[in-house]
A and B are shown apart, each in its own frame.
Chain A
Amino acid sequence: MPFILILIAIAGAIFAAGRWFGSSYAFFMGYVVLQYIVLGTAWNILGGYTGYVNFGVTAFFAIGAYSTVVLNKLVPAMPLPLMILIGGAMAGLVGLGTGYLTLRLRGVFFSIATLALAVVVQTLITNWDFVGGARGAYVLRPRIAPLIGGEYVQYLFLIMLGLCVIVLATARAIERSALGYGFAAIRDDEGAAEASGVPTLRLKLIATGLSGGFMGMAGAPLPFYVTYLDPASGFNLNYAVNAIAMPLIGGTSSWLGPVVGAILVGGLQEYLRVTISSAVNVLVAGVLMVAFVILAPQGIVGLFQRKKR
């Protein structure tokens, strides 16, 4: 329990510092890093803990984002947290379905199916006129933040901060529970885990559902952040590459890895976007990811742990 209190205290301090600093650029930038902490941790719950690689991050992320577009059209007054819950539930269900069909086979088939899933969800959205099809959809961002006052982006930032707390607390709780040991057993040797009575399929489905659901939740506030969403931007490969690169760079074995990776890579990308160009900043995550998986397979957290011993 104290861990979640510490997280809330840190989150509160970050938000108070942001309010005191008072620059809306800081909130816009901070939102992106927080979003990647959620995405990276969500990916890591399946990828890092059980060893199943999900390349279809954009599918789950965009399901969350587009469910907000739909809900906002149907019930304009619906509060954002409720939209996030619904978007997360939708993405979690899609995760469960994909997992149910492919997780009984070798791991690579799941990875390939998720890659193809991203293309298919994009095809469906592109052909769906209600959410704007290929033309995209506009979402009006309220001018004033509810409850806390000030600019709306501060509200978005606060919501994403709250999601970070929830996702990180969940990830750490999994690591220290029987669930986490089950996941680790699957990652290390699925056959042996199965033979010693670990319910592998059920555990894998829990991981896929949780992971997909959190990705959907990370995507749900996106329409209000960008105010214009079209399939090409909602399904941008950057989201997938970043969500996979950040845990791999930070370290996949603990909840801290994706956080370190997201802050470092997200910060570096923002720095490069401002100083050089936006074309180079997307290359960074890919190059760093390849460099890290070859040279430092345990990530940054792993490097420090090895030094301590």
Chain B
Amino acid sequence: MDASLDLLLNALISGLLLGGFYAAVSIGVAISFGLLDVVNIAHPAFILLGSYVAFLGNTVLGIDPILAALIAMPAFYFLGMLAYQVYYVAFERRDDQSIRGLSFFFGLLFITEVALVLVFGVDYRTVQARYIGATINLGLFDLPLRLLVPFLVSMAMVTVLQLFLSRTFIGRAIQAVAQDQLALRLMAANPIKIKRIAFGLSIATASLAGAFLIIIQPVEPSIGREYIGRVFAICVLGGLGSFPGMVIAAMTLGIAESLTATFFGPSWAPAVAFSILLITLAVRPSGILGR
């Protein structure tokens, strides 16, 4: 009885920490899908790209993976702006988002995955950092630093983005573009430019999330697909466009997966996200804190 309580407590803690990481993975989609209505199903591919950038920075230059991700962030920002520009010209302007716009991102997802296989192979890759093996023992439970560091940096990133969206002019414009493009145009702000900036930001978060991913687990090119279900389950459960809802949903999923992995075995964990997604869509499509 005592041992299983211990197991439960540890599963809860690591689920909570995992949820912090999931928040970093999902915040990009919370921006692109939740605020801009751009269904970027290729987001996990950008995250994987971030993982491999962190891997290169770590193995070739010998720097910390999170630092490498921060350095790469501007490049990801411009990559995101470029991707949005192509999407806007080819699909959004022609009002052809549904079939072809979705297929465009699906194609990007696939091309990135195959390209990563061609460059890095299908072997699992890992990074080195002092905090990866270490654990803080707090008596009742353990805090693995491998999960704690991504958790803390991720929460910092979510806070900064939330402040940016609510306090700055561009941030408010991004929130406005989700509601009324015409009104934004009347305020003399170009909605396309605002959306380009926002999409750039959403891809920039993938750089950091990718570094977290390769810190937490070994990475190979096809694991991005597992995150599609997770990311969209989190965004839908949290209510599209709401950051606090997204964080709550990320922690919920983290804890649910961690409990499933502890009591039923890790091979069942990927099914949790889908169940949550389907139940949410069937019961409450507007999510926990939906508008």
B131 within 8 A of A: no
Q: Is the CB of A55 within 8 A of B39?
A: no
Q: Are A47 and B114 in contact (CB under 8 A)?
A: no
B141 within 8 A of A: no
Question: How many contacting A-B pairs (Cβ < 8 A)?
Answer: 126
Cross-chain contact A119 with B229 (CB below 8 angstroms): yes
Task: Indicate whether A55 sits within 8 Å of B267 (C-beta atoms), given known contacts A111-B39, A119-B274.
Answer: no
Query: What are 29 A-B contacts defined by CB distance under 8 Å?
Result: A47-B99, A51-B98, A53-B103, A101-B278, A101-B281, A101-B282, A108-B102, A109-B281, A111-B41, A112-B39, A112-B277, A115-B228, A116-B233, A116-B277, A119-B271, A123-B268, A127-B265, A237-B225, A244-B103, A244-B106, A248-B99, A252-B99, A279-B118, A283-B115, A287-B111, A289-B107, A290-B111, A294-B104, A297-B100
Q: Which residues of chain B come closer than 8 Å to A115, judged between CB atoms?
A: 41, 228-229, 232
Tell whether A290 pairs with B108 under 8 Å between CB atoms, given A101-B278, A113-B278, A279-B114. yes
Counting contact residues on chain A (CB < 8 A from B), the size range is 35 or more
A105 at the interface (CB under 8 A from B): yes
Which B residues between 109 and 124 are near A, CB-CB below 8 angstroms?
A: 110-111, 113-115, 117-118
Which A residues lie within 8 Å of B267 (CB)? 123, 126-127, 134
Tell me if B182 is interfacial: C-beta within 8 Å of chain A: no
- Enumerate chain B residues within 8 angstroms of A134, measured Cβ to Cβ: 267
From A51, A119, A244, A282, contact of B114 by CB (8 A): A282
Partner of A53, one of B98, B107, B275: B98
Given contacts A51-B98, A123-B270, A127-B267, are A294 and B278 in contact (CB under 8 A)?
no
- Please, which residues of chain A bring their CB within 8 A of the CB of B106? 55, 241, 244, 289
Contact A248 B100 (CB under 8 A): yes
B285 at the A interface (CB under 8 A): yes
The docked-state distance in angstroms from the alpha carbon of A48 to that of B100 is 10
Chain A residues with Cβ under 8 A from B268's Cβ?
123, 127
Contacts of A53 in B (CB 8 A): 98-99, 102-103
**Interface membership of A14, Cβ < 8 A:** no
Which A residues are CB-close (under 8 A) to B41? 55, 111-112, 115
Candidates A116, A237, A241; contact of B232 at CB < 8 Å: A116
* 8 Å CB contact of A293 from B100, B114, B115, B118: B100
Picked from B39, B99, B117, the residue with its CB within 8 Å of the CB of A279 is: B117
Say if the beta carbon of B261 comes within 8 Å of chain A. Answer: no
- Chain A residues within an 8 Å CB radius of B282: 101-102
Q: Given the complex, which residues of B lie within 8 Å of A153, measured CB to CB?
A: none
Q: Which 8 A-B pairs have the closest CB atoms?
A: A116-B229, A290-B107, A120-B274, A286-B110, A293-B100, A116-B274, A294-B90, A286-B111
Distance in Å: Cβ of A98 to nearest Cβ of chain B? 8
B-side contacts of A283, CB under 8 Å: 111, 114-115, 118
A103-133 contacts to B, CB under 8 A, are 105, 107-109, 111-113, 115-120, 122-124, 126-127
Task: Please tell me if B156 contacts chain A, counting CB pairs below 8 Å.
Answer: no
Encoded as 1 (CB less than 8 Å from any A CB) or 0, chain B from 157 to 170 comes to: 00000000000000
Q: How far is the CA of A129 from the CA of B91 in the complex (A)?
A: 45
**Please, how many angstroms separate the alpha-carbon atoms of A108 and B285 in the complex?**
13
Which residue of chain B has the shortest Cβ distance to A134 in the bound complex? Answer: B267
Contact B114 A286 (CB under 8 A): yes
* Chain A min CB distance to B120 (Å): 12
- The closest CB in chain B to the CB of A110 belongs to B281
Asked whether B104 lies within 8 Å of A290 as measured between CB atoms, the reply is yes
Q: A279-B114, A290-B108 are in contact. List 4 more A-B contacts (CB 8 A).
A: A113-B278, A119-B225, A119-B274, A294-B104
Hey, which chain B residues are within 8 Å of A279, CB to CB? 114, 117-118
B275 to chain A, nearest CB (A): 8
Q: Is B86 an interface residue (CB 8 A)?
A: yes
- For B77-105 the 0/1 string (1 means CB < 8 A from A) is 00000000010001100101011101110
CA of A51 to CA of B102 in the docked complex: distance in angstroms? 11
CB of B236 within 8 Å of the partner chain: yes
Measured CB to CB, the closest approach of chain B to A235, in angstroms, equals 10
B residues near A297, Cβ cutoff 8 Å: 94, 96, 100
Cα distance A204–B162 in the bound complex, in angstroms: 39
A109 proximity list for chain B (CB < 8 A): 236, 281, 285
Within A265-309, the residues touching B (CB, 8 Å) are 279, 282-283, 285-287, 289-290, 293-294, 297
Chain A nearest CB, measured from B290 CB (Å): 13
What are the residues of chain B within 8 A of A51 when measuring CB–CB? Answer: 98-99
Complex Cα distance, B85 from A294, in Å, reads 12
- Residue from B110, B229, B274, B278 within 8 A of A241 (CB atoms): B110
Would you call B229 and A120 a contact (CB within 8 A)? yes
Identify the closest chain B residue to A55 (Cβ).
B106
Shortest Cβ distance from residue A50 to the other chain B in the assembled complex, whole angstroms? 10
- How far apart are the CA atoms of A109 and B287 in the complex, in Å? 13
B226 at the interface (CB under 8 A from A): yes
